[in-house]
Homo-oligomer: A and B are copies of this chain.
């Protein structure tokens, strides 16, 4: 894959096809690395570590259910969690725009602290830079995190095989739709709707305890949504992923907003859910372990892995089967 675009566009940040082209066609080869994983595995000084980093540019800075502050913590915590690690320590760097009200910064930092406390991680370092007014959008955050890998797990798309099942931790698309409605560009409101921003570690840990022997792969479907995450899995594992649309939980107000906007909920970002591929004989035990936790009640089985072309398909309520591509373009820029 070669990246031939002459300049960077918003779509390159979507988490979908254009992002994949940018990373695989330019960034990874320029850096001389195979691919840029969500979290890297390191064996260092006798410790089995996971190491990950993310930047956050969400607009607006605050929204129902969260802010850029807790998003920055939960995003990095969740990358560690779905890589099979216990999140331990995070760094947090800020790029501030001159003119940013101190009160705005204070509120975001409060959210950073609270999210770290809730996730059980320590913030151990950071950095602050300031750029001129007009050279940023309030503030951007970058977090990096170290976790301890669970020795019982060996997650790898190559282990995914026909017959495995697809588990989902809860309703999708809450975050992306909340951001869109918060921006107020649409004549639409949903008072009850809020971002799902949270740490998924309690749920990945429970699933691991219950089903580690058959746990093949996990991912938090953020930018690009569930469809982009499972398309990547299909490609990386060389399998077909078949979902049953009727079994995928979507809140009614989210579904309504998606219909009006012409968005597929499968393409909309989540910040507090994860998807896991599990051997069928451990699916019930794994689901029960997630459902036993507060906030995990809506976990469900949404599909199966099949031999076939490396695509994602969806069985519709009408009995047909449609292919669901990765996100193309970026209908929802800057949702994280």
Contact = CB atoms under 8 A, between A and B. Distances in A.
Interface of A: 3, 5-13, 19, 22-23, 26-27, 30-33, 36-40, 42, 44-49, 51-57, 88-89, 91-102, 105-106, 109-110, 112-113, 116-117, 123-132, 134-137, 140, 142, 144, 146, 148, 333-334, 336
A94 B123 CA distance: 21
B126 A8 contact: no
Contact of A51 (B40, B105, B113, B146): B146
Q: How many subunits of this chain does the assembly comprise?
A: 2
Nearest to A107: B30
Contact of A93 (B3, B102, B127, B142): B142
Contacts of A148: 44-45
Query: Nearest 8 CB-CB pairs, A to B?
Result: A13-B130, A45-B47, A144-B144, A142-B142, A53-B91, A30-B109, A40-B124, A47-B47
A3 B96 CA distance: 16
Scoring A7, A96, A98, A129 by chain B CB atoms within 10 A of each residue's CB, the highest score goes to A129
A51 B7 contact: no
B10 A98 contact: yes
5 contacts: A44-B89, A44-B148, A47-B47, A51-B89, A53-B53
Nearest to A149: B45
A56 B123 CA distance: 20
A11 B129 CA distance: 10
Contacts of A44: 47, 49, 88-89, 146, 148
B12 A130 contact: yes
A304 B236 CA distance: 59
A48 B51 contact: no
Contacts of A30: 106, 109-110, 112-113
Contacts of A39: 125
Nearest to A22: B128
Contacts of A32: 113, 117
